[in-house]
Amino acid sequence: GRCGEIWGDMSSAPPETLVLRFDPHPTPVAARWVAAVRHCQAAGLGIKYKRRCYSFPRDARTPASVAADIAASVEVLNAHEPGVVSADLLPAALRPAPEAAAASTKAQSKAAGMPLVVVAVPVAPPPALSAAAEDATEESVAAVGATVAAAEDAASTELSQEQLNGLHKRFEVLRGSIEAPAPFFACAPPPVQEALQDFNLHIHRLEDLHRQVERLAMGKRPTPRIVVAFDPRRPRTPLSDGEMRHFTVRMEFGAVYLNYCVVGKHLMELFQDDDEDECGDENVRPQRTMSADAQCYFGPSMSEEEAAQKLSDFHDWLRASPHRRRSWCPLEQQQLALGRIPVAALDRSHPSIAGLSEEQIVDKIADFQELCSLRVVPHARLQQRPGP
């Protein structure tokens, strides 16, 4: 398929490649990020997940398909250790049949974490009422309606945010922190470790799909983004107090931000997910480290007023949260690590996108939703390359 290369060099790019260039900000934290990317480049640490593009046009993924992906990951985890993720956390239509679960348990030693596909078969629509049934009483019609509603509920693959919070809690427990992995993750074979990581990514993708539906319902534009996550062996280093001051909730089109390279949830994510109960305090982890991982944002830029309102809404939520969470209230924004740290900006003059509007840029990227690389190349070499 066609792929996109971020910060790339057209001299080595296949013809079906889109190159996007970003100029680093003149800040120490941006310089450190560039150095981290250079390190990955020199060490041969490539991008781990090539298809972490979210909310671009023509994405074939749907809430139902991503929910099925979550269920498939759960099957792999439970095949390795039965019941490690309760089937009750999934909609009924995505739970394996009892005989399938038994077979999966018997075959767990043989499965060794091989991906299992869960197919949710939709329930056929109810047959039309016969002529005789037209004379049925209101009670019997109501009974038929209740039966159909129950069948539709059983066929639903929809996962609510509350359910997703519960599933993410299981991920946190099974994964542990990067510094101190949980026994399940530490002892699992690589295919099961991958299934657990995928489980987390599928949860966040479904949350993103839900948010985009809400935005569209409010007449707002989607917020496409690309997440670049390198090989997990890439170094992570602490952020200094000065670097922490660069956190902002004001997102801007074409900006590159440090990605959240921590297992758990930061406070703004907790707020967005309205996760009061599932995420234990030990898993609330404001970002304190950085790596080469980045997030490229292609949604509409947020105004100063919108950013101020978002912060106000967050602090209102925090003050009303359970008592154990209110200890965060006196802390300054830099200690709370709200938002993200910007490190680079899209070069709109580069030949690959010169003259295009924001919407046209998004539409163009939509045809290149597989990442080739994120590399640092000399500025002059990029200037010399013709557009695709």
| String of DSSP letters for 177-205 | -SSSB-HHHHHS-HHHHHHHHHHHHHHHH
Among the ranges given (15-19, 119-123, 304-308), the one the predictor scored with the smallest mean pLDDT: 119-123
Residue 315 confidence (pLDDT): 78
**Percentage of residues of the chain with pLDDT beyond 70:** 67
Residue 15 confidence (pLDDT): 55
Higher pLDDT, 57 or 264: 57
- For the record, the structure tokens of 118 come out as 């869960």
The residue among 232, 365, 379 whose CA lies nearest residue 297 is 365
List pLDDT tens digits, range 187-232.
999 999 999 999 989 998 998 899 888 888 989 899 999 999 899 8
Average pLDDT over the chain, rounded to an integer = 75
* Half-sphere exposure (Cβ direction) of 270: Cα atoms closer than 13 Å: 28
- Compute the average pLDDT of residues 35-57: 91
Residue 265 confidence (pLDDT): 64
> pLDDT band for position 255 (50/70/90)?
very high
Residue 4 confidence (pLDDT): 54
Residue 119 confidence (pLDDT): 30
Crossing angle for the helix pair 190-217 and 161-175, nearest 10 degrees? 150
Contact 375, 21 (CB under 8 A): no
The strand order across the sheet containing 342-346 reads 22-24, 342-346, 255-258, 294-297, 225-228, 53-54
Residue 277 confidence (pLDDT): 52
**Percentage of residues of the chain with pLDDT beyond 90:** 35
Distance set, CA 278 to CA 161, 258, 284 (Å): 11, 26, 11
Among the ranges given (215-219, 312-316, 326-330), the one the predictor scored with the smallest mean pLDDT: 326-330
Residue 55 phi, psi (nearest 5): 65, 25
Q: For 104-136, b where at least 16 C-beta lie within 10 A, e where not — what string?
A: beeebeebebeebebebeeeeeeeeeeeeeeee
Residue 284 confidence (pLDDT): 65
Where do we find the tokens 């234990």? 280
- Compute the average pLDDT of residues 64-68: 91
Among the ranges given (65-79, 124-138, 347-361), the one the predictor scored with the smallest mean pLDDT: 124-138
| pLDDT above 50: residue 341 | yes
Residue 157 confidence (pLDDT): 66
Contact 22, 388 (CB under 8 A): no
- Compute the average pLDDT of residues 161-185: 86
Residue 192 confidence (pLDDT): 95
| pLDDT above 50: residue 312 | yes
Distance CA 16, CA 364 (A): 12
- Compute the average pLDDT of residues 112-141: 36
Higher pLDDT, 296 or 7: 296
Residue 5 confidence (pLDDT): 53
| pLDDT above 70: residue 374 | yes
Residue 260 confidence (pLDDT): 81
The reported pTM is: 0.73
Strand pairing report for 3-6 and 371-374: parallel
Distance CA 18, CA 40 (A): 21
Cβ neighbours for 330, distance < 8 A, ≥ 6 positions apart? none
Sign of CA dihedral 312, 202, 278, 192: negative
Contact 251, 221 (CB under 8 A): no
